[in-house]
Structure 1
Amino acid sequence: MIKLEEINKYFQTEEVQTQALKKVNLHVKEGEFIAIMGPSGCGKSTLLNVIGLLESPSSGSYQLDGKEVADYKESQRTNLRKGNIGFVFQNFHLINQLTVSENVMLPLAYLDLSKSDRKKKVEDVLDRLKISHRRNHYPQQLSGGQQQRVGICRAVVAQPKLILADEPTGNLDSKNGQEVMELLTELNRQGATIVMVTHSQRDANYAHRVISLLDGEIVTEVENEIDLF
């Protein structure tokens, strides 16, 4: 599904150029759950942003579902993200003025769906992720764990093949963090491919494979003893 070959990423700040990714080679099969680990500043989030088409690589090849997308322009990357990639963030990024249902419905606004179809998809995902009883609440009325659950609902409501999670338990206590990881694992069992950035070895243990980055380079890949299917 994901095929990165010799990916480099540079950032230019005034006269200083920083290399965030160095000749990264990474293949992710459909249905895999991958965890990316490493110290702060090692390039984890940059790699996730490249995979999620939020940033373009400076050089190298990136194939997503067999399409070469490394040189896509912003408009092309935006169109490809719609309905194909779901994002889960550490800081939830919910809109306080919108209810749970309205927040979850946001990704569907970009798809050619009727109002009734959008509403049905929202109701289905809220039921499936066990947060439907909060559908009319606002984010500030929810616990951190509930807010992240809503964030995951929003990420998967359009039924994307790929879910990208950046420190999804970073702002949660241990109990809520475990519930979120179990939820991501269940979505993976249902067919979603997941790539997750995390500092937590406990969270990484849920993944099929753990990729370690150091100074923008992949230094190790470890298989966990988890059945892929």
Structure 2
Amino acid sequence: MSSGVTTFMISIQQLTKIYRTEEVETTALQGVSFSVAPGEFVSIMGPSGCGKSTLLNVLGLLDQPEEGSYVFNGTELLGLGERERSRFRKHNIGFVFQSFNLIDELTVYENVELPLIYAGVAAPERKTRVAAMLQRMNLSHRSGHFPQQLSGGQQQRVAVGRALINRPNLILADEPTGNLDSSNGNEVMDILCELNEGGTTIVMVTHSSHDASFSKRIVYMKDGQIVTEKLS
């Protein structure tokens, strides 16, 4: 927990997550406690298998821990039912993944619009918001193209635009530059920094010390535990 922070958007306490198969039991998170203030940009680093992505999935309500507490802006989330979790996720959290996760059969415009359709936003407002987002991501000239017609950097900008279109309080990014060259990677990091400067809270998993240097705080994990933190 960084010094001087007294009010948190996210506060998790003693999270434990265990994955079980018929033959193997793996503890991915061991009593993890972690807090993030509104407007922070936090990077999570550590070796492969240390629990970074599991922690991000719990924060995004994509995975459920065995034990612990997860409070988001004063609301305890781990006791919510699946429908409530899904609703909360759609309205409060945006995701950016290494693999882009775009739908090949949809155009750039349709990929960015999709979360608004799921959220029940009326067509006129969808049109206005998608047009503004594509302009912000410098993709207006690509709105009718399909993902396979774009460069990797353009695809990731589509993914960022889709993550932002519902105006979430929190962006969770899992290796967002992992499939990009350095030029496109820096472009995506510049976008994330711009969002953070505008007040968006970001938690990013990364192996890249370069990418982590853009954040304000770095959390290091090992063997399912947070072992140290430092200001970037």
| TM-score band, normalised by shorter chain | over 0.9
Q: Which amino acid aligns with 1:190?
A: G
Give the corresponding residue for 1:100: 108
How far does the alpha carbon of each residue in 1:61-119 deviate from its partner, in whole angstroms, 9 at most, with x for none?
11011101122232221111012100001001111111100000011112232101011
How far does the alpha carbon of each residue in 1:124-150 deviate from its partner, in whole angstroms, 9 at most, with x for none?
111112111111111111000000000
2:152 is aligned with 1:144: yes
- Of 56, 69, 73, the match for 1:48: 56
How far does the alpha carbon of each residue in 1:137-191 deviate from its partner, in whole angstroms, 9 at most, with x for none?
1111100000000000000011101000000000000000000000000011111
Paired with 1:74 and 1:47, the residues of 2 have a C-alpha distance of 18
Residue 106 of structure 2 aligns to a residue whose secondary structure is: coil
Give the corresponding residue for 2:199: 191
Aligned pairs, how many? 224
Q: Which amino acid aligns with 1:61?
A: S
- Of 151, 158, 170, the match for 1:162: 170
Residue 91 of structure 2 aligns to a residue whose secondary structure is: coil
Give the corresponding residue for 2:188: 180
Paired with 2:26 and 2:119, the residues of 1 have a C-alpha distance of 37
Paired with 1:74 and 1:21, the residues of 2 have a C-alpha distance of 21
| TM-score after normalising by structure 1 | 0.96
**Displacement after TM superposition at 1:16 (Å):** 2.4
Paired with 1:117 and 1:111, the residues of 2 have a C-alpha distance of 12
- The runs of 4+ residues in structure 1 deviating greater than 3 Å are none
Residue 171 of structure 1 aligns to a residue whose secondary structure is: coil
Paired with 1:45 and 1:209, the residues of 2 have a C-alpha distance of 17
Paired with 2:64 and 2:79, the residues of 1 have a C-alpha distance of 7
Give the corresponding residue for 1:75: 83
2:88 is aligned with 1:86: no
- Of 22, 34, 42, the match for 1:26: 34
| TM-score after normalising by structure 2 | 0.95
Q: Which amino acid aligns with 1:4?
A: I
How far does the alpha carbon of each residue in 1:18-49 deviate from its partner, in whole angstroms, 9 at most, with x for none?
11001111010010000000111010000000
Paired with 1:100 and 1:177, the residues of 2 have a C-alpha distance of 20
165-174 or 61-70, which moves further after superposition? 61-70
Q: Which structure 2 residue ranges, 5 or more long, are not aligned?
A: 1-8
2:213 is aligned with 1:208: no
Paired with 1:149 and 1:3, the residues of 2 have a C-alpha distance of 29
